[in-house]
Amino acid sequence: MAVEMLKNYIGGQWVEGSGEVLENRNPADTEDLICTFRQSTPEDVAKAVEAAERAFHEWRRVPAPIRGNILRRACRMIEEQKEELARIQTREMGKPLVETRGDVQEAIDTGYWMAGEGRRLYGFTTPSELRDKWNMTYRAPVGVCTLITPWNFPTAIPAWKIFPALICGNAVVFKPAEDVPLSADRLVRIFTEAGVPPGVINLVHGDGAPISDALITDPRVRLVSFTGSCEVGRIISEKCGRHLKKHSLEMGGKNVQVVMEDADLELAVDGALWGAFGTSGQRCTATSRLLLQEGIMDAFMERFLGRVRELKVGNGLGEEDINVGPIINQRQLERILGYLEKAREEGLEPVIGGRQLTEGEYAKGYFIEPTVFVGVTPEHTIWREEVFGPVLAVASFADLEEAIALANRTTYGLSASIYTRDLRKAFVFLNEVETGLVYVNAPTIGAESHMPFGGVKDTGNGHREASLTVLEIFTEWKAINIDYSGSFQRAQIDVVTE
Ligand code: UN1
């Protein structure tokens, strides 16, 4: 069967990009060519922005509950196609089916939540200090939004951005990661078939760097929403800053799981295993540091390493019991191997794992063994930098105070978890740890779509996706003042004080 050549979607038309042909291959088996597509050029992006700008003015006038009906239809279609979308994801980016089904489910949950928002989008009314004057507010759309999304959640993260953007009345230019173009294609098809009008959602494929100016600095683009690395986020933020664009960034993490001596160790082992090695550690919420109280260090590590040894690494499309899929691509593989090398240069030796898997079933993919380093300190590179791979740094601590200090010894601030049976310790930790998400007796991954998602410090720039907080990103407050007194009244000046 001929390999499908994906197209961009601009102004309601499927059109080929103008740049070079790129390939989309399965990271578990690089002989599996999934589809091809063309790199978009700045001209392609400009057309998408133009189409979005034109469509925006119609779409923003569609009553929000009606926009909600269209989005609800899209949710139903995603639900119907859940298994197919999950399989596409696994083939494109490798995480096991159990996880890609969860990814699609996260998109469905977000979609229904946001479709319902069409009948809320609450503003507020408030008294005026002047007589016979009414003050009220509402949420207006921002305009054309550029959405730049990563490959690790190929349906969920685009959905986190597209659903709220559309319910609020914005039009979007969607630039998915070049590793997952097929998931993006299928998602956009669903929105169009559900009735999202032409131009309201536009899709441009390819590597972001050559088209970043077109995506970001075009005067018609009002907002950029990005999920990805800090490195790219900074570039985007600089461009947005210079051009005064609203922008929301959701970036890296160096997430910690703390285990106190009083914890349920089995539970904590389950948590660390899933947090560190789920999605092969390729989550911004992945557990990359594990802090163990001294008294349980040995007992915990014995159980934990036993379980790490049992993890099945492989092609997520194969048997259902695969726990750890491949690394997304050659570049990331090399990056992770570079961190392993660096750790060794800095005097660390893995207590388990530490190698690329290249034999047999692994020969055609990008696989790395689940890897654990013990005795890692804040001076080590793997303590400080986000590896985005199946690599866990373990250290011990004496008491809660030290655990909190160590947890906060990072420039990132996304997710943190503590395992303890002591309520007081849990509360002290959740208050003192510098992250946007905190878990008690649960792993650092697994955020729900109706809770604010995002972090502090270098993880973000002050926004929260998901839940109601995402509306702050995709709307602008309009403050309305209606003076029906018929007289000339000045605020602060013509105020009747008694
Ligand atoms: C990400 O890794 O970018 O909390 C998002 C979680 C998922 C989302 C992760 N619900 O791990």
Clarify whether 145 is annotated catalytic. no
Angle at Cα 287 formed by Cα 286 and Cα 291, nearest 5°?
170
> How far, in Å, from the CA of 483 to the mean position of ligand 1?
47
Which atom from ligand 1 is nearest to the alpha carbon of 156?
8
Distance CA(34)–CA(88), nearest Å, equals: 9
**Per-residue confidence (pLDDT) for residue 319, from 0 to 100:** 75
> How far, in Å, from the CA of 28 to the mean position of ligand 1?
21
> How far, in Å, from the CA of 287 to the mean position of ligand 1?
11
Q: Say which of 50, 178, 250, 369 is annotated catalytic.
A: 250
**CA 99 → CA 5, 175, 316, 433, 448, distances in Å?**
27, 23, 9, 28, 14
Distance CA(401)–CA(129), nearest Å, equals: 49
Nearest CA to ligand 1 atom 3: 284
> How far, in Å, from the CA of 482 to the mean position of ligand 1?
44
**Ligand 1: lining residues by beta carbon, under 6 Å:** 106, 152-153, 227, 283-285, 445-447
> 0.75 cut: is pTM over it?
yes
**CA 184 → CA 84, 162, 350, 458, distances in Å?**
13, 11, 37, 28
> How far, in Å, from the CA of 454 to the mean position of ligand 1?
10
Q: Does residue 390 contact residue 427 with C-beta atoms inside 8 Å?
A: no
**Per-residue confidence (pLDDT) for residue 48, from 0 to 100:** 99
Q: Say which of 240, 284, 369, 465 is annotated catalytic.
A: 284
**Per-residue confidence (pLDDT) for residue 194, from 0 to 100:** 98
- The domain 4-251+460-479 is classified under which CATH number: 3.40.50.620, 3.30.420.480, 3.30.460.20, 3.40.605.10? 3.40.605.10
> How far, in Å, from the CA of 171 to the mean position of ligand 1?
25
> How far, in Å, from the CA of 127 to the mean position of ligand 1?
41
Q: Does residue 18 contact residue 47 with C-beta atoms inside 8 Å?
A: no
> How far, in Å, from the CA of 491 to the mean position of ligand 1?
47
Which atom from ligand 1 is nearest to the alpha carbon of 227?
3
Which atom from ligand 1 is nearest to the alpha carbon of 250?
3
Which atom from ligand 1 is nearest to the alpha carbon of 445?
11
Distance CA(357)–CA(364), nearest Å, equals: 10
Q: Determine the angle formed by the axes of helices 82-93 and 181-194, rounding to 10 degrees.
A: 160
**Per-residue confidence (pLDDT) for residue 64, from 0 to 100:** 98
Distance CA(216)–CA(234), nearest Å, equals: 13
Residues of the chain with pLDDT under 70: 1
CATH number of 255-440: 3.40.309.10
Q: Phi/psi class of residue 446: alpha, beta or left (left: φ > 0; alpha: ψ in -120 to 50)?
A: left
Query: In 3D, which of 328, 311, 321 has the Cα closest to residue 277?
Result: 311
Structure tokens at 77: 């279609």
pLDDT in tens, 223-258: 999 999 999 999 999 999 999 999 999 999 999 999
First to last CA, the chain: 82
- Centre a 10 Å sphere on the Cβ of residue 492 and count the other Cβ atoms it contains: 7
Structural domain boundaries of the chain? 4-251+460-479, 255-440
